[in-house]
Amino acid sequence: MSNSNKMLSRVEDNRVLVLERVFDAPRDLVFNMFKEPEHLKTWWGPRGWELPVCHVDFRPGGVWHYCMKCADRGQGQFYGMESWGKGMYKEINEPEKIVYVDVFSDAEGHTNEDMPATDVTLEFIDMGSRTKLISRSEYSSEEALKTVMDMGMEQGIMETWDRLEEALLIVK
């Protein structure tokens, strides 16, 4: 992988995780990969995980409810595990920005209040035939950010974005 496609990561104010990566695809296409369930199912989640459930109501006030399931026997204790999540869209400015609140949930969509919620802002910056994606994940406290970092979120996002890069090569 070229250096330009490596993910850059930094923490701001002890509770905001900022991730950046340049994708070799035009902005409209990268944006659509976050909008369409048939695209999300091909790349969302870390390696070895699938997205068997992906319901998207892509509009401000709409909800994205999904289930990630570990399908890789090589991941041992995680094999067969399900992780449910729900995104509630606050702002959509196509093809420049998506703002949503991401929470852990159950299969019925009830929020798991014991887990931290994330205020996510995705910015899609047009670089001609390439797109810079900037993700800002803001947490209520330093402890909340530490909780998700300890769960391996940064590695999971890196793998997810690697899978996005691979999916973009197929749909281009």
The pLDDT tens digits of the residues spanning 75-124 come to 999 999 999 999 999 999 999 999 999 999 999 999 999 999 999 999 99
Instruction: Look at strands 49-56 and 118-127 and give their pairing.
Output: unpaired
Closest CA to 164 of 33, 51, 57, 67: 33
Distance of CA 132 to the CA centre of its chain: 15
The pLDDT tens digits of the residues spanning 18-56 come to 999 999 999 999 999 999 999 999 999 999 999 999 999
**Hey, how many other C-beta atoms are within 10 angstroms of the C-beta on 83?**
17
pLDDT average, residue stretch 125-148:
95
- Cα pseudo-dihedral 66, 105, 100, 116, rounded to 10: -140
Domains of the chain: 3-37+48-171 (3.30.530.20)
Helices (H), the chain: 27-35, 37-43, 142-150, 153-171
Whole-model pTM: value is 0.92
